[in-house]
Amino acid sequence: MQELDAVIKKIGFTWPQGFHSDAMNVGIKADKLDFGWLVSEVPASAAGVYTTNQFQAAPTKLTKETINNGHQLQAVVMNSGNANSCTGPQGEANAKQVQEQTASKLGLDSSMVAVASTGIIGKQLPMAKIEAGISKLQLTDSTKITEAVLTTDTHAKTISIELNLGGKNIIISGFCKGSGMIHPNMATMLGFVTTDANVDADYLQSLLIDETNQTFNQITVDGDTSTNDMVVIMANGMAGNSEINQNNEDKAIFESGLKSVMTYLAKQIAEDGEGATKLVEVNVNSALNQLEAQEVAKEIVGSSLVKAMLFGEDANWGRIMDAIGKTDAHLDVTGVSVWLNGIQLVEQSQPVDGIDLEAARKSLATHNVVIDVDLGAGNASGTAWGCDLTYKYVQINAAYE
C-alpha cells in the first residue's frame, strides 16, 4: 500500500465533484448570512451522529430519522440565528416544512433532504422569511454556506484534502461551526463533510461514529452540550473509485483522510472557544485502554480550574492532578507523571526535584499549550482539545441574545 503521506495532501477549500451550495441573509439575523444549502448532483451515501442532549431539537430529530431511513441524502438545508429547539409540535412541523419546500425546489423526494439549525432556543422559525429564501437559493460554487452557519464563532472553519484511491483523485471537504456550549456527545456544533469518493453507506456510518469519538467528542470549551448538534457526511461517488467498504484495500487511506479532516475541524472549534486565548491539547499515555485515556484527557482539558490556571499563565500542576484523580480510570497512584509544554513537573506523583516553575510559567505565554500525562497503567493513549477560560467567555454568555 502507498505511504499515506504520499496520497493525502491539504488543498485550498473547495467542493468535491458534484457538490454545490448557496447562502444568503433571509432576515433571521440583522445583517449576516443566516441561511443556505449544500446540494449533491446525485444521491450520496450519508451518515450522521447527533447530540445526546435529551432536548433534541426538531431539525436534529428530523435529520436523524431521515438518514436512518435510507442512509442516502442529496441536500442539507441549514440556518443560523434560530435553533428551532424547545418549540413543540409547531417547531417539528416547521422543520418538516423546510425539508419539503427544499425538496420541492430541487425536484427531490423529501427523504433526500436533511435540515440543520443553530442559534437561540425557544423561538419559532420565521417561516415566511425561510420560504422566501428557499425560492431564491441557487446551485453555485460559492463557499458562503461555511459562514452562514456561524453564531458566536469568530471565523469560518474549513478544510479540504485530496487523496489518491486506486488511481483516482478524490476530495474530502469539511466545515463546521462551534464556539460555545462545547462538550460534545455532542456540543453546539454543526459539522458537514462532503466527498466525491464512492463509499458504502453502512461502512460510512460505522466509520463516522468511530472517528467522532476520537475527534469531535474529545473537545470541550465549557462543559455544556447543545440540543442541535450533529455531524453529517455525504459521499456521492462521482470520483469513480472502487467502492470503499470494510474489505476494500484502500480503506486505510480513506479512514486516515477522514480522520485528518475531522481532527482539524475539532481543533478549530476548541481554538475558537468563546473568549479563548489558547488552544490546549492534552495527551494521556500509558492508560489501561483507549477509553480511559480519552476520559482522563477530556477531564483535564474540561476542568474549570485547569482552564483558569492556563489563562492566568500559572503552572499550578496540582490542578492537573486533581482532574486526573476525579476520574475512575485505572492508574498508578504513586507513578503518575505530568509535563507542561515539555517541561516535566510531576514524577511518580510528586513534584520533580529542582522543578523549574518559572520556566513552565513562561511557556504558558504561547498560544498553544500541550499537557502530557503518563498514568503508568497500560499501553493505551488518548487526546483531547480545549481552551482556556477567560473573562471574555463570561461577558459573551452574559450578554448573548
Q: Which amino acid is at 72?
A: Q
| Residues paired with 49 in a beta bridge | 231
Burial class (CB in 10 A: 0-12, 13-18, 19+), 353: exposed
Instruction: Compute, in degrees rounded to 10, the torsion defined by CA atoms 34, 217, 52, 19.
Output: 40
In the chain, count of helices (H) and strands (E)? 12, 16
d(CA 306, CA 308): 5
Instruction: Give the Å distances, CA to CA, from 241 to 80, 202, 236.
Output: 35, 17, 11
d(CA 151, CA 10): 26
Locate 47 and state its grid cell: 451518515
d(CA 154, CA 142): 20
Of 102, 188, 195, 227, the catalytic one is: 188
Task: Based on the residue annotation, tell me whether 188 is a catalytic residue of this protein.
Answer: yes
The upper half-sphere exposure of residue 103, i.e. CA atoms within 13 Å in the direction of its Cβ, equals 17
Q: Contact 227/85 with Cβ under 8 angstroms?
A: yes
Place of cell 464556539: 179
Beta strand 219-220 pairing with 380-387: parallel
Closest CA to 183 of 395, 364, 387: 387
Closest CA to 80 of 96, 63, 59: 59
Helices (H), ranges, 188-334: 201-214, 251-271, 290-302, 304-311, 317-326
Place of cell 485528518: 260
- The residues annotated with a catalytic role in the active site are 188
